C-alpha cells in the first residue's frame, strides 16, 4: 500500500523530532563527560590515549593478576582508634563488616615460611632475633666461630634496638604510617571483601574527606575554608608540587566514588532492602551523575574525573620506575607453580607499562634545593596525616580499602620521590650488608598493585557509564 506524500512528510517530521529529542537528551545526560577529553593536567598525554591503553592492554592483565594469592591477601590493623576525634559513628550494617582470614586460609609463605634455595622446600622462619644472628653469619667458615658466638650473645634488648634502628631508617622514605607488623594486624582476603557501596554515608563519611581536604591539602591563600574542594580555576595559585598533591587526592576520591557507583546495591530495582545480604549489585547511573555532573558539583565534577586520570598516570609511572625491582621479586606464597605464574604475569604487565610513551615526569618536582626539601617534608607529613585519618572511617570495609589505596598511593610517592630509584640501572644494587638499597615490604607491593588496579578499574568503568548514557 502506497503512503501519501503528506503522511510520509509527517513520519519524517516525527523521526527528525525524535532524533533531535534523543540528541538533546544525550547532551543533557552526557554532561559528566563534557570536559573529559584532551590533555591531562600536569601531563603530556590525552585522556583518550589513557582510555585505550588501560582498557585494552592494562585492565585485562591486572584483572587476572589480582586473583593471584600473593595479591589477594593484605595484612592490616582495622582496630586502631581514631586519633583525631571520638569515633562514635561505627557502621552497623552487615555490608560494612570485614571477616579476617583464619590461620589455615593463609598461604604458608605469608605466615613466615621461606624458600630454601637448595632443597626447594619451605621451612618456618625463626624469631627476628635469631634471624638477625643467622643473617650476620651466612657464609662464615669454621675459623670464624668466635664471631659467630659473639653475634649470638647479643642481648635481646640490643637486637630489638637494631631492629628499631633499621625500621627508623626505612621509615624515612615512607609516606605512610600503616604498619602491617602491628600486633593486631590480620590478613584479609580482598576477593571476599570487595570494595562497593555498603550504605556508609552521611556526616561521618563527609567528615573524613572534609578533614583531608581542609586540613591536609595545600590550599590557595585566598581560598574559603567552608568549601573543602578547590576550584579548578584557583589551582594555578599553587606551585606544581602542591597542585600534584591536590590532584592526587582528588583523583583518588573520584576513583573511590566511581567504584561505589559501579558496584552499588540496586535495592530499588529488584525490591530488596539494604538488610538483605543477597542483594543485586551493579552500576547506578543516577548516583554517578549525582556525584560528577556539573549541575550537582558546582561545575567541578568533570574536573574531578580528570584528576582520576592524573593519579592513574602518577601510579603508572611509579610502577614503570620500580619495574627492575619488581621484576626481581619472587612473589613467594609457598605454592611454586602459582608463584611462577605470578612472576610471569607481573613481568608481562610491567613490560606493557614500560611501553607507554607519555609517562608522568616526576623530575620536574622538588628541584629548588633548600625550599624543595622543606616542601617535600611538608608534602610527606600531610600525606602521613591522611593515612592516620583512615583510622577514623566508621565502616570496616571502607576503612580496609581506604587504607589499602592510601598505602598504594604512598608507596608510589615513595618510589617517585625517595631518590633511591633515580638511577634505574642500579636500583637493585646490594649494599655492604647484603641489603637492597631500595626496599619495599610485601604489603607495599600488594597495596601498590591493588591500588593501581582500583584506578584501572575506575577508568574502565567510566567508559561503561559513558556507553550506558549514550
Catalytic residues, by residue number, are 395, 398
DSSP bridge partners of 113? 124
Q: Minimal CA–CA distance to 199: which of 150, 264, 125, 117?
A: 264
Cβ contacts of 133 within 8 Å, gap of 6 or more: 151, 152, 154, 159
Q: Taking the alpha carbons of 444, 445, 448, 453 in that order, is the dihedral positive or negative?
A: negative
Which positions ≥6 away from 33 have C-beta within 8 Å? 302, 305, 466, 469
Residues annotated in a binding site = 196, 198, 209, 250, 253, 291
Contact 279, 265 (CB under 8 A): yes
CA–CA separation, 461 vs 287, rounded Å? 14
The CA-atom distances, in angstroms, between 5 and each of 8, 9, 12, 18, 433 are 5, 6, 10, 20, 92
The answer to whether 251 touches 310, Cβ cutoff 8 Å, is: yes
Q: Identify the residue whose cell numbers are 611538608.
A: 378
Q: Are 74 and 66 in contact (CB under 8 A)?
A: no
**Per residue in 377-402, is it b (16+ CB within 10 Å) or e — as a string?**
eebbebbbbbbbbbbbbbbbbbbbbb
Neighbour-count burial of 118, counting CB atoms closer than 10 A to its CB (0-12 exposed, 13-18 middle, 19+ buried)? exposed
How far is 259 from 255, CA to CA, in rounded Å? 6
Binding residues for FAD: 196, 198, 209, 250, 253, 291
User: What gap in Å lies between CA 360 and CA 313, rounded to an integer?
Assistant: 6
Of 457, 448, 462, residue with least CA distance to 316: 448
Amino acid at each position: 500500500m502506497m503512503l501519501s506524500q503528506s503522511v510520509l512528510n509527517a513520519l519524517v517530521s516525527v523521526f527528525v523530532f525524535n532524533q533531535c529529542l534523543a540528541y538533546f537528551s544525550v547532551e543533557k545526560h552526557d554532561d559528566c563527560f563534557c570536559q573529559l577529553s584532551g590533555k591531562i593536567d600536569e601531563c603530556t598525554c590525552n585522556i583518550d590515549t589513557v582510555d585505550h591503553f588501560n582498557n585494552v592492554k592494562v585492565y585485562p592483565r591486572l584483572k587476572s593478576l589480582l586473583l593471584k594469592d600473593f595479591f589477594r591477601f593484605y595484612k592490616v590493623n582495622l582496630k586502631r582508634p581514631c586519633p583525631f576525634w571520638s569515633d562514635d559513628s561505627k557502621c552497623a550494617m552487615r555490608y560494612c563488616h570485614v571477616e579476617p582470614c583464619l590461620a589455615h586460609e593463609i598461604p604458608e609463605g605469608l605466615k613466615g615460611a621461606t624458600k630454601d634455595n637448595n632443597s626447594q622446600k619451605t621451612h618456618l622462619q625463626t624469631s627476628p632475633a635469631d634471624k638477625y644472628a643467622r643473617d650476620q653469619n651466612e657464609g662464615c667458615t669454621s675459623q670464624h666461630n668466635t664471631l659467630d658466638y659473639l653475634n649470638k650473645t647479643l642481648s635481646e634488648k640490643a637486637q630489638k634496638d637494631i631492629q628499631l634502628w633499621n625500621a627508623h631508617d626505612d621509615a624515612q622514605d615512607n609516606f605512610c604510617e600503616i604498619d602491617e607488623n602491628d600486633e593486631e594486624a590480620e590478613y584479609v582476603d580482598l576477593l571476599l571483601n570487595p570494595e562497593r557501596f555498603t550504605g556508609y554515608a552521611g556526616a561521618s563519611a563527609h567528615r573524613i574527606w572534609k578533614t583531608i581536604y581542609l586540613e591536609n591539602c595545600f590550599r590557595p591563600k585566598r581560598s574559603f575554608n567552608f568549601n573543602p574542594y578547590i576550584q579548578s580555576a584557583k589551582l594555578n595559585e599553587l606551585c606544581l608540587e602542591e597542585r600534584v598533591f591536590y590532584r592526587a587526592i582528588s583523583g583518588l576520591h573520584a576513583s573511590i566514588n566511581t567504584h561505589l557507583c559501579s558496584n552499588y546495591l540496586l535495592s530499588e530495582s529488584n525490591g530488596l532492602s539494604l538488610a538483605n545480604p543477597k542483594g543485586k549489585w551493579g552500576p547506578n547511573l543516577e548516583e554517578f551523575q549525582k556525584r560528577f555532573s556539573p549541575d550537582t558539583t558546582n561545575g567541578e565534577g568533570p574536573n574531578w574525573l580528570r584528576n582520576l586520570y592524573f593519579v592513574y598516570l602518577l601510579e603508572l609511572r611509579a610502577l614503570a620506575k620500580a619495574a627492575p625491582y619488581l621484576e626481581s621479586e619472587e612473589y613467594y606464597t609457598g605454592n611454586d607453580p602459582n608463584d611462577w605464574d605470578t612472576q610471569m604475569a607481573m613481568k608481562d604487565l610491567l613490560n606493557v607499562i614500560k611501553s607507554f610513551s607519555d609517562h608522568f615526569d616526576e623530575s620536574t618536582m622538588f628541584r629548588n634545593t633548600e625550599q624543595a626539601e622543606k616542601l617535600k617534608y611538608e608534602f610527606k607529613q600531610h600525606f602521613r596525616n591522611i593515612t592516620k585519618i583512615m583510622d577514623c572511617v566508621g565502616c570496616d570495609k571502607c576503612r580496609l580499602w581506604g587504607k589499602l589505596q592510601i598505602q598504594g598511593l604512598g608507596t608510589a610517592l615513595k618510589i617517585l620521590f625517595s631518590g633511591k630509584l633515580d638511577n634505574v640501572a642500579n636500583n637493585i644494587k646490594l649494599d655492604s650488608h647484603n641489603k637492597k638499597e631500595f626496599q619495599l615490604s610485601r604489603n607495599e607491593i600488594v597495596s601498590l598493585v591493588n591500588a593501581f588496579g582500583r584506578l584501572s578499574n575506575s577508568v574502565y568503568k567510566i567508559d561503561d557509564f559513558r556507553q550506558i548514557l549514550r
